[in-house]
Amino acid sequence: MKKFLDTDHPWFRPLWTRVLFTLLPAGWGVLEFTTGSPFWGTIFLGLAAYAAYGFFFDFDPDRNKPRPPEDPPQQ
């Protein structure tokens, strides 16, 4: 199943990418509110909240790391 925001993608492992992709929609939402567009401000702040939850509360950097091969059974 495809996710809206695939937080398991290896590109999001570094902290700086997760922070950037959370702050960008948050900043844009604040900009929309200051220019008088509360609808778009709400949309972008909602996206920022969704990204913050996915990147900082539900994020596991080791979730999709390849596991080392297991030793074959000894006979």
Tens of pLDDT, residue by residue over 31-55, are 999 999 999 999 999 999 999 988 8
Contacts of 48 (CB under 8 A, 6+ apart): 22, 23, 25, 26, 29
CA 70 and chain centroid, separation: 31
- How does residue 12 score in pLDDT terms, banded at 50, 70 and 90? confident
Tens of pLDDT, residue by residue over 53-69, are 888 887 665 655 666 66
d(CA 51, CA 57): 10
d(CA 65, CA 58): 16
pTM listed for this prediction: 0.70
